[in-house]
Amino acid sequence: LAKTTQPISMDSYEGQEVNITCSHNNIATNDYITWYQQFPSQGPRFIIQGYKTKVTNEVASLFIPADRKSSTLSLPRVSLSDTAVYYCLVGDGVMRGSSNTGKLIFGQGTTLQVKP
Amino acid sequence: NAGVMQNPRHLVRRRGQEARLRCSPVKGHSHVYWYRQLPEEGLKFMVYLQKENIIDESGMPKERFSAEFPKEGPSILRIQQVVRGDSAAYFCASSPFHGGSEETQYFGPGTRLLVL
């Protein structure tokens, strides 16, 4: 069962780039890395998912080194509204094309506080 | 949140009463997951259901908790004889299908249960 470790909290200022690193030393060969964002009193929201190298969408970028034992979520030019908890997940054996149950394993996440 | 509906949003029960939490997945999604979140913690998987079937209930307490996802209607998480320790936010997530390229789980806004 792949376990993730990420910083408990981070502070940043508006306009800065924020990088949140997550370690997952026991990631399985076919596992994908997924990041979710959660605002207070709301459900988690999918941000980005990747397998290796770099993935970019309109919200964030995800950098994954060749050994896949860690990943870095990059948020460009954060604003106050990016203050939230960010979860790095390596699903319980979730892999594309598998028949696993797909349950997501959430850690404590990283609480990002963006200051003006 | 891509259209997952949960109700009620807030539920207050006295010890010993029953709590019924409802989840309507995104239209066309046949996979439903329930998670529980205690204050200051990450989400914990409870149960995964497909239409009329429980696929994985490994995270659900053996007693007092049950879940269903009937052919017609919403998924229901039922907690009998609630205790104060059941106070938490309960999130439902749905996905279009499992094992393919669209495994992203979309979360609802949650139901906050308070047991007095």
Lowest model confidence (mean pLDDT) among A6-15, A30-39, B98-107: B98-107
Cβ separation B103–A99 shorter than 8 A = no
Q: Poorest-confidence range of A90-94, B20-24, B37-41, B43-47? A: A90-94
Contact between A101 and B48 using a beta-carbon 8 Å cutoff: yes
The more confident residue out of A4 and B114 is B114
Task: Give the per-residue pLDDT at A28.
Answer: 83
CB–CB contact A42 B1 (8 Å): yes
Please report, rounded to a whole number, the percentage of residues in chain B having pLDDT higher than 90. 72
Average of pLDDT values for A56-76? 95
Q: Average pLDDT for residues B7-24, to the nearest whole number?
A: 97
Give the integer Cα–Cα distance in Å for A84 and A21: 15
User: Nearest Cβ partner of A103 from B48, B100, B110?
Assistant: B48
Stretch among A89-93, B8-12, B77-81, B92-96 having the lowest mean pLDDT: A89-93
Task: State pLDDT tens for residues B49-72.
Answer: 998 899 899 999 999 999 999 988
Q: Which residues of B touch A103 (CB under 8 A)?
A: 33, 45, 48, 56, 58-59
Counting one residue from chain A and one from chain B, the pairs whose CB atoms sit within 8 A come to 69
Q: Provide the phi-psi class of A108: left if phi over 0, else alpha when psi is between -120 and 50, else beta.
A: alpha
pLDDT band at A27 (very low <50, low <70, confident <90, very high): confident
Q: Return mean pLDDT, chain B.
A: 90
Count of residues for chain B? 116
Q: How far from B65 is each of A105, B78, B89, CA to CA, in Å?
A: 20, 6, 15
For the cut 70, the answer to whether the pLDDT of residue A53 exceeds it is yes
B74 CB burial (10 A radius; 0-12, 13-18, 19+): middle
Give the list of residues 6+ apart from residue B72 with CB closer than 8 angstroms, or none.
Answer: none
What is the rounded CA–CA span in Å between residue B50 and residue B82?
A: 26
Lowest mean pLDDT among A9-18, A30-39, A90-99: A90-99
Q: How far apart are CA A21 and CA A29, in angstroms?
A: 20
